[in-house]
Each structure stands twice: as structure tokens, then as C-alpha cells.
Amino acid sequence: MTVPAFGLGTFRLKDQVVIDSVSNGLELGYRVIDTAQIYGNEAEVGQAIEKSGVPRDELYITTKIWTDNFAADKLIPSLKESLAKLKTDHVDLTLIHWPSPKGQVPVAEFMGALLEAKQQGLTREIGISNFTVALMKEAIAAVGAENIATNQIELHPYLQNRTVADFAKQHGIKITSYMTLAYGEVLKDPVIEQIAQRHNATPAQVTLAWAMQLGYAVIPSSTKRANLESNLKAVDLTLTEDDMAQIAQLDRGHRLTSPASLAPHWD
């Protein structure tokens, strides 16, 4: 298995809003859904999936283990709770959502528990999120790079995170980009706007296509059906080498997500 290139994110979406977003997405052809324990919406995501009638084997569902559940005796029970909420006997990908705050739970402990969850058939693949190169090295030492499907990180034209992306690539670990549109900031960028005009595309389509063309997976979210439909068209957009080079120049180390209680020492 490999992590699909294009999916639907559900961060910050709650209650009926997330039900509508996932329902619309599935109707439009999305088959990859990304959630997390801390989002507080797994039950609603499960409800939308069940109601959609889309067969389980056509879906790729990701959830993420929250830091409170990292201890070896808590991780698998918490994942089983997530499965119950999602109304499925397994997810396709389970990630460690953030590194353990202040290293309270060793990387080897939670990665070992996560690998055990995979061996029990609770998740088909496992991975990490918000991991630096140093933390990736620890995770690889614990379970082997072949058992780490992806590192899901903040990555967009203003934060291209090349040190982490290059290290992951060297070890066969796929990068999943979250906040690829930088909360909409990059959609107003003149360079991206010009590229979009040349391709008769939207700035969002250009940005998502850029990330996928670099080999990254993307999981944009939207509460608007029109945007969900439009974003999906990024899959068919091919940018030129010149377009890619222009976007490469936009990197400015502009990080938007770095909670003090969770953030590691970023690369």
C-alpha cells in the first residue's frame, strides 16, 4: 500500500459541518478521509461514511493517536475506540499526531505499540506527523523505515520544509502535506495567481498540483461543495518546470502551526 496522493481533511470541522463536508466529498468522488482523535469528529466522520453507502474497501481512512494515548497500555485501546466511532474494524493509516511533549513517552514505546496495532490488523499502515529529522531517526530505529508510511507535516509554498522532506524521501517515507494552502494565504500570492491564469486554473488547484507534482500527498478541507469539487480538479493539472521553479522561490520559512506545548525543535 502507498498513501494516496489526494484526500479530504477534516481538521476544525465539527458536528453537522463535518458530516456535510465528508458526505459531499464522497459524493464528488473523494475516497481518502483524514481525521484524528483530537479533532473530536471521528463519530461524525463514521456516520457520514456509513450513510454514503461507499464500500469500505474503496476508502482509505486515516486517524491520528493523540499524545494522551501514547503509553504502551493506552495506544491500542484508544485506537479501538476510534474504530468504534468510525464504524469500521480497521483504518488504513494510523499516525502519531505530535511528538510526545517533553519526551514523556519514548519514541520507541509509542512506535512499538503502533506497530503492534498494525500486526493485530487494526490499521493497515502506520506513520508519524510533525516529526523532525531527529525524531524520524528515532522512529526508524524503533520500527524500521519500511514500517513508516508517511510523515504528515505542515508544508506549503511559504514553508517548503525541504530538510524534512529530503530526509523522508531518502528513507522511502512519503510526505503528506497539511495546510497546503496556508490557511488561504498563498491563494493571494501574485506568482501563484499568474500561474493559475496561464493554466486557466484556480490558485488552490495550482498549489495542490505543485505539492502532488513534488510527490507529496495532500488533504485539503472545505465546507463548501463547490470548493471540494474545484480542489479535486488539481489531480489533472500539470505544471511546467518554470511554474515549479517559480513556486520553489516562494519559500520563506513561514510556519503557521507550532503550539508551544507540542512543537519540537523544528529543522
Tell me, yes or no, if 216 is annotated catalytic: no
Q: Choose the catalytic residue: 39, 60, 178, 216.
A: 39
- Neighbour-count burial of 116, counting CB atoms closer than 10 A to its CB (0-12 exposed, 13-18 middle, 19+ buried): middle
Give the type of residue at 23: S
Cell matching residue 141: 530505529
Binding region for substrate = 97
Binding residues: 97
- Measure the CA dihedral 179/184/187/189, to 10°: -90
DSSP per-residue codes, the chain: ----SB-EE-TT--HHHHHHHHHHHHHHT--EEE--GGGT-HHHHHHHHHHHT--GGG-EEEEEE-GGG-SHHHHHHHHHHHHHHHTSS-EEEEEE-SPPGGG-S-HHHHHHHHHHHHHTTSEEEEEEES--HHHHHHHHHHH-GGG--EEEEE-BTTB--HHHHHHHHHTTPEEEEESTTGGGGGGG-HHHHHHHHHHT--HHHHHHHHHHHTT-EE----S-HHHHHHHHGGGG----HHHHHHHHTT---------TTT-----
- Residues that are catalytic: 39
